[in-house]
Amino acid sequence: MTNEKTPIEKFDARQLKLYAQRFAHEWDRSAALKERREVHERRRRRARAMLTRSRIPTLNESELRELFSDSEAFRFWSSQEYEFGKRLEKYGLTTLRELLLELVARGERGPHAAHLQTIWARRGLGPQLATELLAYRFPARFAPNSKEIVAALQFFSFDASPAAQSTLAARQRATAKRESDVQEYLARCRVLEQIKSALEAAGVKAVDFLTTQMFAWWLGQAESDGAAAPEFDVVSTLDRAMSERGLQFSRFSLGSFFTALQTKGFVLLTGISGVGKTQLARTFAEILQGSGPPAPADSHGTVAVTVSPALLQSGRVPLPAHRFAPGDRVLLSVDGHSQNARVMAGQKGAGELVLRGVARRWLENQLSVGDVLRLEPEIDNDRDAVNFRLFAANAAAPIERDGSNLLFLPVRPDWRDGKSLLGYFNPLTNHYESTLFLQFVQHAASSFRERDGRAWFVLLDEMNLARVEHYFSDLLSVLETGRDEQGWTREALRFEYPESASGETPPRELFLPPNLFFIGTVNLDESTHTFSPKVLDRAWTLQLDAIDFRHYPPPPRQDNNGGGLTAEERRALWQLFTSEGRFEERFERIGKASIAQWAHAHPEIGVRLQTLNEQLRPHGLHFGYRVFDEMVAFLAASQQQGAFGNGAFGASADASPPSTLEVAFDAAVAAKVLSRLHGSRERLQAPLRTILAWCLNPDAPATETVARIFEGMATSDDSEAALRELKSLPYRLPHSASIASDLWRAALMDGYALFGAA
């Protein structure tokens, strides 16, 4: 026996889970995946009909040609017709029928090594075709022997090469080679069983080996498109968190929200009433509540650590670096026992407490991943050593700190200036009349100074009930002054009051910290105000319009934690959103140097935006450098985080799936360009024609195609047919095109249209 792990033990199950969740989400949504499923179903039906003991002896040449040629194995040949004719001439119709009879007879007995070796040794079919036909005839027993599956397993760190499986690779005889190939295939099938389980756990129905083949194909498409899942799939995680609360948002909306909020820190959510704008913001803030850095110590010195798989496996507990150093000795008390322990060097020089013996057994028996381990110290006043009492907190969630990280503020129509948010000095009482908002901002600033890693969110509900340019103007100005190296705004909010003021007063200057985020919900009706370009230029405006009752309400999850996020997942989300508590790092992406570097590496983005801007200039809808910078920062962040996942979502049924970058570009155009559109039918007609033609092909706008449809509307009484044709075009930027066509519909029907209300 050796200590070397088998390939199955090396299998990356965590990465598989992330991909399986994304695949399950796209199972009924991706046009490309739907087409692939139809191909598999056609081949499966044919195999069931033809490959039976009674039917095979009657198969004619045409039926055999159809069976062989419509296979992945035959796609290897440039001419399937020629290859089939060559086999038919060499072996004859009768021999091919006999080979298929033997194939079915042995396949009915299951995937045994001896049967596979015999089948693969028969000339006339070959291992690839024989195994593929078995997979379509018996999909619950056999997997296709495809290169896509091999590539997928290699991606997940599974190595089923003959050298990894046995010493037979050292033999040069043909029989040994065939035996080794069969063992390799069977080893792959065992791991494919794990993939089947992961897909079932993610919600895919009726999973068999053909489903794993589709999964492998889908993974290959994502990889070639540059859309591979990151180590942590942020959108799938958010999707599950929302579903747990009965909320449903498209992956496109979740990816846009996460990336825009992290990039800019000021997001407006618009859309019809009841789509969940407020709940999206509330839920996101709740997820990040308390999901801060590991090993915080409370005021009494108690250390609390969320148990991760690595901690459970190694028994090494991270400790606060400022209190414990490698080499320190401590005394552990656990479950009525005491033992000595030593602090060892961990990552970045911090200490790690190594649990052994009784403490290690207690850890393994009492705690699971996601539980909270607490170490309560008893300080010895004569020396720096401590006695630690270990116990499990009765909670499987991340550590919660006192106080909410979300301030919910319903905007009032009578807010006319900054006093509603920032307060004012009252000369009658000689007090500064503070506000909840001002106190919240001060808490966020203190939190950032203490480097506690906490994110703070202000939710301005129905933000446009009052004029944003009036009550939010001071904040808009300060937010646009830029950030210093630590992430603070370069200019401050300034407060005036006499030195003789009594009571608590705010600081004379209050710089906004980088851990403070603003979210506004927007309803558009006769009681609200539209946003000026000043506001739209400084915010990201997202339209939540993906309503699908076919998948609503979200089904209850079947995983162990009831559909909720584990402590590890919440921690990972916090790490990605906050750069592990280093909020200032997000502003490096919107610095001129970073923007220039990314833009020079992707010159096509600048060319496309220049084309669009020149065409919008005659209509007064062109944009400036600020918009360009923010769009580039958004695209760079989306690539880094993988927030838009597989490029197939967002594609129209008639278009090939766009790249991940193109999906993010589509989101950026909708948020920063289309959000500025409003006005009468006469005002919007020309710019919407321009935008739709550009969305068809941003590299060479298809003006003639769109112009023909618009001219048809002007001369025809059936405008609905023309609108349907307009919306069904194979757009490269389908999300922006959908918004633009909806705006034109509203303008055509009502005489006026407004982004977010169409």
Cα–Cα distance between 153 and 160 in angstroms, integer? 8
CA 680 to chain centre: 38
Name the band, by pLDDT with cuts 50, 70 and 90, for residue 636. confident
Q: Tell me the torsion sign for CA atoms 166, 169, 175, 181.
A: positive
User: Would you say 503 and 635 are in contact if contact means Cβ atoms under 8 Å apart?
Assistant: no
For helices 209-224 and 174-202, the axis angle rounded to 10 degrees is 90
Give the pLDDT confidence of 418-466 residue by residue, as tens digits.
999 999 999 998 999 989 999 999 999 988 888 888 899 999 999 988 9
End-to-end Cα, the chain, rounded Å = 69
pLDDT score at 652: 41
Q: Tell me the torsion sign for CA atoms 477, 480, 484, 487.
A: positive
User: Would you say 375 and 381 are in contact if contact means Cβ atoms under 8 Å apart?
Assistant: no
pLDDT score at 551: 67
Average pLDDT over residues 676-680: 87
User: Would you say 448 and 583 are in contact if contact means Cβ atoms under 8 Å apart?
Assistant: yes
Structure token pair of residue 30:
């991706």
Q: Is the pLDDT reported for residue 560 higher than 50?
A: no
pLDDT score at 78: 62
Identity at 326, one-letter amino acid code: P
Average pLDDT over residues 260-281: 89
Q: Is the pLDDT reported for residue 291 higher than 70?
A: no
Q: Is the pLDDT reported for residue 479 higher than 60?
A: yes
Residue 296: which of 318, 267, 266, 277 has the closest Cα? 318
What is the SS3 assignment for 714-734? Answer: HHCCCHHHHHHHHHCCCCCCH
User: Would you say 386 and 378 are in contact if contact means Cβ atoms under 8 Å apart?
Assistant: yes
Give the pLDDT confidence of 382-423 residue by residue, as tens digits.
434 456 667 665 432 232 333 578 999 999 999 999 999 999
Percent of the chain at pLDDT > 70 equals 77
Identity at 221, one-letter amino acid code: Q
CA 531 to chain centre: 30
Residue 554: which of 278, 237, 240, 205 has the closest Cα? 240
pLDDT score at 289: 76
Q: Is the pLDDT reported for residue 626 higher than 60?
A: yes
pLDDT score at 694: 93
Q: Is the pLDDT reported for residue 163 higher than 60?
A: no
Give the pLDDT confidence of 52-103 residue by residue, as tens digits.
999 999 999 999 888 888 888 777 666 778 788 888 888 899 998 999 999 8
Name the band, by pLDDT with cuts 50, 70 and 90, for residue 668. very high
What stretch of H or E contains 221? helix 209-224
Q: Is the pLDDT reported for residue 485 higher than 70?
A: yes
CA of 318: how far to CAs of 41, 274, 294, 304, 377, in Å? 52, 44, 8, 10, 15
Average pLDDT over residues 357-385: 66
Average pLDDT over residues 363-384: 63
Helices (H), 335-489: 357-366, 419-422, 436-449, 468-471, 473-479
Average pLDDT over residues 310-325: 67
Q: pTM for the full model?
A: 0.59
Per-chain mean pLDDT for the chain:
78
pLDDT score at 478: 93
Cα–Cα distance between 637 and 664 in angstroms, integer? 10
DSSP labels for 601-642?
H-HHHHHHHHHHHHHHGGGT----HHHHHHHHHHHHHHHHHT
Stretch among 130-134, 216-220, 376-380, 591-595 having the lowest mean pLDDT = 376-380
Average pLDDT over residues 641-648: 60
pLDDT score at 592: 79
Can you tell me which residue has the tokens 């766009």? 658
pLDDT score at 206: 86
